A and B are shown apart, each in its own frame.
Chain A
């Protein structure tokens, strides 16, 4: 029997579907004060498949120490009688517009690097850059803590482990959202990443741009996130369920919504990377590891929320009804549970948790237009690892993913850490397809 979205009933217009997503854009438009930040000078973060979108030729790059962008580093670009020095900004990015296609060399000027940071390969600080069919070329200069700072490996692992826990806990909030939605409706929601971005962007806007205090900006961000959950169910998914649209179709609809919402956010936010200012920059030493107060608070908030969700699911009537719907929707409906109402509540709850996860992620890293999309697969991996549809499994999966991605950077290059998480996902599916905490049932 084909898997259908629950409750096939008469055709209802789904024009509202697109409206649901546009609302996000309109809200953003109002919130951003209609002052679109132009991304013209920053290198395009995700060059699009069909190629030429800008007519300027630029060479640029990002200089970071681990995850911290380094400001004020100079890179000299020469070629064809052209000579200019690019300086990294606050976000660690540097860009040099060049007159046209051709061969250039980019040289990192090591003297401009801050104290204690050296190029990872001091012999190799000159890059040959050829601008041919592409307009923008990114040049990488890996830097590291060189020989100046020596860490012993156990300390590094401990530090990474604590960061991993923090990352895992905030992932868990988003992953439980996916898991609850999947559990009650069997829908894989690809627009979940944009819900993460949305929470972070709204919080960034109210907290950092406008400068409202945390106890105002966080509730606003959470309330708006909750509204996106309501909107998605009320204006998109409920009509689709009524229409009897197949699950795969509904999944592809969420892909469309994801693309739409992501570019709406890019439209208003611009392509730059922003840092959230929480005012909590003090650090605390835990043994050999140093972590910021913001990270500690973030972990505390995550743990508190996760406990609350756990209590909600196991102790309250609505929570029990949610689990009943996850278990068997028809049976739940037959025993008098209003399935549509439960699904609505689940959407709102999931969107709020995901928005919170976005806020914490924005604090943990930085805010940009595709931040949620970049961790969407990690969220899916967490959910699948723990067992599709199991909320507690999602927590375990997220912690595994968070710790693995961070600790793995001790041995492998930073830019491969997400790949490690995804490889683990595939390996777990090989051995234990139902996930770590999933029930043993036939999934094939």
Chain B
């Protein structure tokens, strides 16, 4: 059993672009749920919208990179509006069901064989990364040390992803200190009280939904930058994992989503490495490598249950800040 390699690959997950994408998506849900009290169970849908709206213009229309980003943002705003109009006036569990259903509609749509020419069907899309790598400011070479050794393109995608995470965190931090943020948090605590102060609750909720959704779509872009787009990734499970990360770190906090995503990704890789190591060393003989992968997801489920019951505020959270009461 090679502990060095197991620890190395787990440490590598700390700063991987996938972790950055998870963190961004978790910040998005933090805006929705942590600050505004909206139950968005469709973050995977926002990520899919971001990924496809970014990639399709580049592949189908030869659009420049900035147009891809713009289209991702525009489409996620439209998606948020579509979600919000029917549901934001209703009780919170309706938003939960509608968001989860919409995310599935998005996934079915991008993976249907009828749209294979545009979206690549179930096989997804690839070969769109050259434009992003072309604006890489780092000269070619090897950077970093130990588990954090990268080629120039790997470094570029990490710097880009984590810069977005930091920007998003700062933006959300500043917004939530602003008068706008106080109203939004007020809505979370008591919608009727805020309404009685003459605030347009519906508009504030919609703005929060859009903000978190745009962060989700940016997460979708970061998620696909170093890899291919695969529609099967954007299932409901992805949303639930991001919720687990958010609740792990703490919902209405600045560092919660980031630390939650880092812990989640690292532990996932670490437990996989350990289990597979034990299997290949013949210490565990009654399960296969595939099944070792499944055990980790059982652990995620159990951790999610335990977290919500015993420490709903997560690692950083303040119990008073977190309101599960909708």
Contacts and interface: CB of A to CB of B under 8 A. Distances in A.
Interface of A: 2-4, 14, 17-18, 21, 25, 34, 36, 38-40, 46-51, 53-54, 129-130, 132-134, 137-140, 142, 188, 240, 243, 245-249, 251-253, 255-264, 266-267, 271, 373, 377, 380-381, 384, 388, 412-413, 415-416, 418-419, 422-423, 425-426, 429-430, 433, 443-444
B94 A263 contact: no
B295 A267 contact: yes
Contacts of A21: 301-302, 305
A263 B108 contact: no
B100 A259 contact: no
> For the complex, would chain B's binding face be called helix, strand, loop or mixed by DSSP majority?
helix
B290 interface: yes
B290 A40 contact: yes
A415 B123 contact: no
B278 interface: no
Interface residues on B, range: 35 or more
A267 B298 contact: yes
A195 to B, nearest CB: 15
B92 to A, nearest CB: 7
B197 interface: no
Contacts of B288: 36, 38, 40
B283 interface: no
A377 B122 CA distance: 20
A112 B87 CA distance: 50
B301 A256 contact: yes
B305 A17 contact: yes
Contact of A263 (B232, B238, B265, B297): B297
Given A49-B238, A252-B243, A429-B94, A413 B18 contact: no
Contact of A380 (B101, B114, B127, B324): B101
Given A132-B126, A260-B298, 14 more contacts: A36-B287, A36-B291, A46-B235, A48-B237, A50-B265, A51-B227, A130-B127, A133-B227, A140-B116, A252-B304, A258-B301, A266-B294, A416-B114, A418-B108
Contacts of B272: 53
B312 A249 contact: yes
Nearest to B265: A50
Contact of A443 (B94, B303, B308): B94
Nearest to A268: B291
Given A267-B291, A444-B89, A444-B90, A18 B96 contact: no
Given A248-B326, A255-B240, A263-B298, A429 B290 contact: no
